[in-house]
Structure 1
Amino acid sequence: MRINKITIAALAVVAGLSLTACQNDDAATGQSDSSTSSSANGGSGSGSSAQNTAKDSAAKDSAGENSGEGQSATGKCRTDELEVTATDSTIEGDPEGSVAVEFTNGGGRDCTISGYAGVDLKTNAGSLSAERTGEQAPSVTLKDGESVAFGITYPVNDSGGSGIRITGLVVTPPDETKSVTLDWPGAASLPVTDGSGSSVQVGPIGSAGQGG
């Protein structure tokens, strides 16, 4: 009887240990599954976050483009974009002759122009550069097709002599190096002077009024 009691007790202990081991295994398996599920969910969440960030960035870029951010400012008018014409603007009775030179924007974009154009008269005695009047020169924005003009004044040859014959007009837009050569529309000649008389002068952009 003593042997049987010992055997039964031993079996009970073994059974208890087996049950505890199974419970521990189940708990470990549950933790592993929970960890795996959490990792999977975390991975999915990270991917979703990255996608949302990319979408937000794209939306900001699109908004920036639509609002005009990053676009360059209006550029300066270039010689090749301008149609240049010259007309006689002398008013009868004025002591000096005058010519209006007009720039018309034909570049297909808005552009700005300011300052003084370079003006040279071609004569039979050589090239004669006009002097600036010294007036303030405002900045003008020309839309495509719009115009702005400046004036040239010069002494009238009323001496009765042939004077200095003018053969052409060379105009260089402000801040440009490329020039345009035009026919001279004013009086045919300048008086011969010893340097003490009035000179050929050029006004700033806008000094002869602005067309449209």
Structure 2
Amino acid sequence: MRAHKLTLTALAVAAGLSLTACQNDDGGTGQSSPSSASSASSSGGGSGSGGSDQGGGKDSAGKDSPGQSSAGKGSAGQGTAAGAGSKESGKVAKCRTDELGITAKDGTIDGDPDGTVVVELKNRGGRSCTISGYAGVDLKTNAGSLSAKRTGEQAPSTVLKDGQSTAFGITYPFNTSGDSGVRVTGLLVTPPNETKTVSLPWPGAATLPVTDGSGSPVKVGPIGSAGQGG
């Protein structure tokens, strides 16, 4: 009987040791699972902007810090681009229609074979601006709109400080046919590289000779062709 009890006791001890070993093995498996889950979470965070934002409060955010440093460099790059843009904006901008005071006056001198109208453009924009080329010029008449033709002269570039002026000339033939002819009712001026037009009274002769259809008898010179004032 004593030998039988010793055998049962030995079996119980062996079973206990086996159970303890199984529990230890299960605990090791349980510890490995959170580690795998953490790796998946970190991987998911790096795959999208939303994930990287969520990872900001975790230890993995420290691993993402090189990415944040890269973003800082990107911001610096944008700053450099902005700097380049500011240099571009530092150049003298083109004169806009709304910044110009535009007037027209008769500039005909006795003895000239043709009549002349001088159009003055004064910078009232509060800053310097540049202007060059030919203005668009149309005469309003009782027979419709009549566009002036460019003279073909070289158009210099002019920088106008605030308050300075430049001018160009419009030439047209005199009407020597008496009361007949084309009656001029107004003048339309569009500054170079602009689409906004200014309507002005026509200060020249009241009428133009009837054209023979060979082209416009009205000519326009480039900006600066009629002198420049301060």
Q: TM-score, normalised by structure 1?
A: 0.66
Instruction: Report matched runs for 1:14-93 at 5 Å.
Output: 72-93=90-111
Contact 1:121 1:168 in 2 (8 A): yes
Letter in structure 2 aligned against 1:144: D
Instruction: Extract structure 1 runs of 4+ deviating beyond 4 A.
Output: 68-71
Cα distance in structure 2, aligned partners of 1:139 and 1:184? 27
Percent identity, aligned pairs only, is 74
Structure 1 residue 162, shift from structure 2 partner? 2.2
Change (3 A) 1:160 1:106: same
User: Which residue among 131, 155, 158 is the counterpart of 2:173?
Assistant: 155
Contact 1:155 1:198 in 2 (8 A): no
Cα distance in structure 2, aligned partners of 1:134 and 1:70? 31
Instruction: Report matched runs for 1:89-168 at 5 Å.
Output: 89-168=107-186
Greater CA drift, 161-170 or 189-198: 189-198
| Aligned residues: CA RMSD | 2.1
Instruction: Report matched runs for 1:150-189 at 5 Å.
Output: 150-189=168-207
Letter in structure 2 aligned against 1:156: F
Q: Secondary structure at the match of 1:116?
A: coil
Contact 2:149 2:216 in 1 (8 A): no
Higher relative contact order (CA 8 A, sep 6+): 1
Cα distance in structure 1, aligned partners of 2:87 and 2:179? 63
Letter in structure 2 aligned against 1:207: S
Q: TM-score, normalised by structure 2?
A: 0.61
Equivalent pairs, count: 148
Q: Secondary structure at the match of 2:90?
A: coil
Contact 1:104 1:146 in 2 (8 A): yes
Cα distance in structure 1, aligned partners of 2:89 and 2:179? 59
Change (3 A) 1:70 1:151: closer
Deviations 1:74-101 (A, max 9, x none): 1000000000000000011111000000
